[in-house]
């Protein structure tokens, strides 16, 4: 999908996550002259990108605002930003746990509001971004948002906003779970006697190669696993361990459920 860039992009906060998104957009051709970043530290972001420490007196026409600060700062940010937003301002919020209704209440005069939940690999264009907007958001606007998010990787609309914690558990927290898996895979090789550095390299390359292969295959990963495992062979013997009592599935379900439950707890203020 060819990216469609906003006429102007105003980032509120440019830390770990928004910084990754912006870096990828710039690498894919977004003109830095169209970007303004507001961050209290005033630290430079990238050549040609204007960084400000205070709000301008007005936003350019058809600005897309990316809310990329911490969720608890929304009240302060909205107090200064909302008066600058008009019907042609699109707001994209990556604030975890902040619902559309709250954003709409804070930015009553703004145009379209979209929630986005990106994960860290967006910085290399291989991320996952879950999107949610009012059912009334026109198809053309959805298309424009998708074309803006496309350089970051996979974009998926979530119909039910109540599922954001599930989505965050899977794709938002997912990179950490997979880093842990890769590490454990390498340490398991080491436990069997392989040199640690060699096992680490081989584990990472095996995960990367298998993920790329699964992404290109027409069969599901479940079928691919069975294809690799001939009856009575080594792979089948190993899979029997992962599959016993659905051990791996249960472990991962418990992992996602714990992350989701923590999201719900935090939303209740815990």
Ligand X SMILES: NC(=O)c1ccc[n+]([C@@H]2O[C@H](COP(=O)([O-])OP(=O)(O)OC[C@H]3O[C@@H](n4cnc5c(N)ncnc54)[C@H](OP(=O)(O)O)[C@@H]3O)[C@@H](O)[C@H]2O)c1
b/e burial code for range 82-113 (CB count within 10 A of at least 16 → b): bebbeeebbbbbbbbbbbbebbeebbeebbbb
Contact with ligand X (CB under 6 A) among 9, 17, 145, 169: 17
| Nearest to ligand X of 71, 86 (CB atom) | 71
Contact with ligand X (CB under 6 A) among 62, 70, 208, 247: 70
Establish if 68 lies at the interface with ligand X (CB under 6 A): yes
Rounded Cα distance between 91 and 133, Å, is 11
Contact with ligand X (CB under 6 A) among 4, 27, 44, 76: 76
Residue closest to ligand X when measured from CB atoms: 15
Give the interface segment with ligand X, choosing from 22-30, 70-78, 138-146, 224-232 (CB under 6 A): 70-78
**What binding mask, one character per residue, do residues 108-147 give for ligand X by CB under 6 A, x or -?**
---------xx-x---------------------------
| Cα 57 to Cα 45, 54, 83, distances in angstroms | 22, 9, 10
Least Å distance between CB 81 and ligand X? 9
**What is the token pair recorded at 217?**
């295959």
Establish if 45 lies at the interface with ligand X (CB under 6 A): no
**What binding mask, one character per residue, do residues 171-190 give for ligand X by CB under 6 A, x or -?**
-x------------------
Establish if 152 lies at the interface with ligand X (CB under 6 A): no
Give the interface segment with ligand X, choosing from 34-42, 57-65, 182-190, 220-228 (CB under 6 A): 34-42
CB within 8 A of 39, min separation 6: which ones? Answer: 13, 14, 15, 45, 51, 53
State the DSSP code for 69. Answer: S
| Nearest to ligand X of 182, 224 (CB atom) | 182
Cα angle 80, 131, 216 (rounded to 5 degrees) comes to: 140
Establish if 96 lies at the interface with ligand X (CB under 6 A): yes
Q: Are 135 and 129 in contact (CB under 8 A)?
A: no
Establish if 16 lies at the interface with ligand X (CB under 6 A): yes
Q: Are 151 and 3 in contact (CB under 8 A)?
A: yes
By the criterion CB under 6 A, which residues form the site for ligand X? 12-18, 38-41, 43, 68-71, 73, 76-77, 94-96, 117-118, 120, 172
């Amino acid at each position: 999908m060819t990216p469609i860039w906003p006429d102007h992009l105003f980032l509120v906060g440019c830390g770990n996550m928004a910084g990754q998104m912006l870096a990828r957009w710039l690498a894919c051709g977004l003109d830095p002259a169209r970007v303004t970043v507001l961050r209290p530290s005033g630290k430079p972001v990238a050549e040609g990108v204007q960084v400000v420490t205070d709000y301008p007196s007005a936003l350019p026409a058809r600005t897309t605002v990316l809310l990329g600060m911490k969720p608890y700062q929304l009240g302060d940010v909205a107090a200064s930003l909302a008066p600058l937003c008009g019907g042609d301002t699109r707001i994209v919020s990556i604030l975890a746990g902040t619902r559309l209704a709250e954003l709409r209440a804070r930015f009553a005069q703004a145009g379209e509001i979209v929630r986005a939940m990106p994960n860290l690999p967006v910085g290399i264009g291989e991320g996952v971004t879950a999107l949610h907007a009012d059912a009334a958001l026109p198809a053309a606007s959805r298309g424009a948002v998708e074309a803006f998010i496309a350089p970051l990787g996979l974009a998926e609309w979530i119909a039910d906003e109540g599922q954001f914690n599930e989505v965050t558990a899977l794709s938002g927290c997912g990179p950490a779970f997979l880093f842990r898996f890769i590490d454990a895979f390498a340490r398991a090789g080491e436990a069997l006697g392989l040199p640690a550095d060699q096992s680490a390299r081989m584990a990472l390359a095996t995960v990367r190669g298998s993920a790329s292969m699964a992404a290109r295959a027409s069969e599901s990963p479940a079928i691919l696993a069975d294809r690799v495992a001939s009856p009575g062979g080594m792979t089948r013997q190993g899979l029997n361990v992962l599959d016993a009592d659905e051990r791996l599935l249960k472990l991962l379900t418990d992992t996602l459920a714990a992350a989701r439950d923590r999201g719900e707890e935090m939303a209740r203020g815990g």
